[in-house]
Amino acid sequence: MPETPTSPARADAAEQTPRRTFLDSILGFGFMSSAMAMLYPVTRYLVPPPGGEPATLSVVAARLANVPPNTGFVFNFGNRPALLVRTPEGELRAFNATCTHLDCTVQYRPETSQVWCACHDGLFDLGGGVVSGPPPRALERLTVQVRGESGQEEVVVSRD
């Protein structure tokens, strides 16, 4: 005897189809969510977001009155360290303070009037050139300007 739409077997199949579709949807959604959760960090790693440091940057490093001759200090230049030096003769110089060897931060040594990298004893002159040690290149020079009224001058460091 052929089954009719009202037979019990046909009615069970009709009831199971929406349930099966619903379970398939839940499993599919779970699979897609898991795949997205795994792919998102990989994608962010491979394609980092745009941004970072702008090509041009200008920072007030200090008040001129606070930078006596034969001193130097590190300051934040964007998201990197920079070094402002006032030579024994009173000239202002600024450098990217990241050593060209293995990226340690350099510092000014007043006793020798040189820039020193403590990591591997790299030495730079006050033009940023390599004197000795393993650094392969000179330090990047930054532009220094003094702005403001007399007695209130600020030392502005920029990269063009």
Binding residues (CB under 6 A) for ligand FES: these are: 99, 101-102, 104, 117, 119-120, 122, 133-135
Q: What are phi and psi of 10, to 5 degrees?
A: -70, -40
Minimum distance between the CB of residue 100 and ligand FES, rounded to whole angstroms? 7
CA angle 51/55/61 to nearest 5° reads: 105
Give how far the C-alpha of residue 70 lies from the chain's centroid of Cα atoms, to the nearest Å.
Answer: 31
Residue number with CB closer to ligand FES (62 or 97):
97
157 touches 58 (CB < 8 A): yes
Residue number with CB closer to ligand FES (36 or 118):
118
Minimum distance between the CB of residue 39 and ligand FES, rounded to whole angstroms? 37
Residue number with CB closer to ligand FES (107 or 158):
107
Minimum distance between the CB of residue 158 and ligand FES, rounded to whole angstroms? 24
Minimum distance between the CB of residue 136 and ligand FES, rounded to whole angstroms? 10
Q: What are phi and psi of 79, to 5 degrees?
A: -105, 20
CA angle 89/112/142 to nearest 5° reads: 60
Residue number with CB closer to ligand FES (128 or 155):
128
Minimum distance between the CB of residue 139 and ligand FES, rounded to whole angstroms? 10
The rounded radius of gyration (Å) of the Cα atoms in the chain is 33
What residues are paired with 59 via a beta bridge?
A: 157
Residue number with CB closer to ligand FES (72 or 135):
135
